[in-house]
Amino acid sequence: MKLPLSPVRRHYVIVVLSFAITSCGYAQTVDALIAKNLAARGGAAKLRAIRSMVMTGTISFGDVSSPLTVKVLRPNRIREDFQVQETDVTRAYDGSSGWERQGAAARSVVDGELNSLREEAANAIEGPLLDYAKKGSKAEFLGNDSVDGRPVYKVKITTRLGTSITQFLDAGTYLEIHEEIERSVDGKVTTIVEEVGDYREVDGVKFAHRFVSGTRENPAGSRLQIDKMTLNVPVEESVFQKPQP
């Protein structure tokens, strides 16, 4: 007859199993984790095949919200159109320089703001994990953790511009559910935390459609909800160029 486990023995078994599961998780290599993330999204080949992207949605700051349109064109162009206090705002990177226009006035974007735009343009379609080495980035596996009780793997990308991007990949789906970004702006390190979710399939590739981000002190400072996303649509290069005065 098989005797039931005593409470002490049961506790011992749970501890051993937990250690074994954790050990297996730490045995993961960063490239294996990245490969699983890319496979979960639809595959590296499908992501590389995307030449352009247009997204429309809403960005909210507390009770204030604005329609948002984002246009992306390979290899490194991005344009964002939204409103601030009923004033039209455009931010863009044309592949070499960045600019911002509020109303009729346009200005060049430089230093930390420019680096942020550059990295947005480079990662807007596929994120920082795909072909990270070709982009001049470095990747590290930081081990296991949990987000709201969900076990995750932590992968840190350090870009060639020095930005630290830590992605928290769900241990079951390998999709990103949380992100922490550290970058230096005017000599000061700024940390952004972001919850990532509402994954939807677009032309065979999974993309997150909801992003809630802010500082550690105010992690829900802004909310971005993508309503529609289209891939490989015509986007003219001229829309990324700074308007002439």
Give 180 or 12, the one with higher predicted confidence.
180
| Residues 78, 83, 84, 88, CA torsion sign | positive
| pLDDT the model gives residue 86 | 86
**The model's pTM:** 0.85
pLDDT value for 190: 86
Domains of the chain, earliest start first: 30-240 (2.50.20.10)
Q: Kindly report the CA angle at 63 between 61 and 65, in degrees rounded to 5?
A: 60
Residue 123 has pLDDT above 70, yes or no: yes
Res 33: pLDDT: 97
Task: State the average pLDDT over residues 174-201.
Answer: 91
* CA nearest to 197, candidates 189, 186, 188, 206: 206
Q: 126 with 115: CB under 8 angstroms?
A: no
pLDDT digits (tens, 9 = 90+) for 28-48: 699 999 999 999 999 999 999
Burial class (CB in 10 A: 0-12, 13-18, 19+), 194: buried
